[in-house]
Structure 1
């Protein structure tokens, strides 16, 4: 059902170091432990103790690992993420890259960088480590943040974002840079699709920049719950990021469950991913909100297991994330100086 797993020389880069794909475990492919964006003013995730408590709830719900999908300059805190991972036992894969323009505004420093500068920034995070606070390249403070063991905290995923049926000039520069960083490191790519739009279009643009569909996760594709479209994307090789559970204002969980099972029946089982993308303090239990990160494991997964069986559940939670995230081990060269 799930296709071939990565070879023996493959690794997955977590904030506490590289692990073999077989050790990743049940993986929530899309959450945020820290995030701050002007689009969600007042809904920041910025408290280590509360984020750690929420991560503990996710771990207690039966999830072993997660991708922290916050890219550059949106409130990342690599040292805190590493401490949370160490404290809770939750394996965390950190993200580099950049979101769509609206998350920064036209005057933000990251929006003025060239594709080459962006690629250098992303590659630094993947190979050398993520600095404690994001700053423009060349500024003081670029020393990588360290985890509890003193080792640099490195990213393991690249991210780009696009608008609703829109890929603007900044987003194109980011995709070009993501392609360059992918070619240098082999890191997989996640793309934010606004309302699930422009999926084939962004795959074509990534392909032009050297990223094959089989290395791409299309985040929020379930915001357009069209099983025919999803089956076509899966056949093209892309991973399908379902992360809209508990967003009942848009549609009930049953719609996502129906769509997911239909895509699996059409041959897409090896390309399905699940996450929550809860992403707001008003939705985190530890910050005083609801439903929290535990919802996926406690409420949605039992319905999936009952409906589709344990084999599909394992493919979605274990085999598919491991295949997406795995890459050939890349040496960590010393940070260049001068």
Structure 2
């Protein structure tokens, strides 16, 4: 779902507010799944990972990947000095959040536009308030800002009660956070019953791994194979570089090796049903053409869980 959003007028952020504004922009980009692609070497192979956008020596932030879309985009930029956003691929409209902040912070008159009309910023403003706690005000003569609920009510199906979905999930086109457990450390996650059951099973699987089995794991090799299979076989979204670096830095520690074994077993569930084939044949001939969206979500969800240090420690103890 693409939106042609743009800013009409000149964006001029006061110097005394630029530090605060830039911090909020980077936070929004991170929480909206915007990342930068990066290639690293693991066990002699080149693997593509993602990292959080950050400014270079010239104050320019570059980004070219969305973990919510799970796909590469054309390189876009944000300039910390001028607070200018240059975006080619619009994605789900998450950049409208940044443009909404530009309008609210600017001391010169400007407006968030959609095509050739002034865009209603209520939804964006409320979403910004919800995810980063910043309340925006708009003073332009063409703007009429009114309060709306933080949740969008949807019409119930027959014989069902009215259900409310958080506005955030309306924007990223998701019903839950099953594959995004790395977000919201101190907030309750909206997980499906399936994912809640997965978490219980992963905990039992982790606790049941023998030390000898874990100690035999070649962490770098195992991690390289997992990441390449996630991309080429399962078509999962890319994994965060921070997670990869952490596991390599603790490659000889049993909890990390156990965590990799659970990851490996999640991806190899189908292999036992085809004893006449090698593991590689099952992945190429069976898994690759037949993998389901729920399988991709489960695998990405596990990787996301490992990325969240707080939630990982609660479940696995490391």
TM over 0.5: no
TM-score range, shorter chain: under 0.3
Larger Rg: 2
With the length of structure 2 as denominator, give the TM-score of the two structures: 0.27
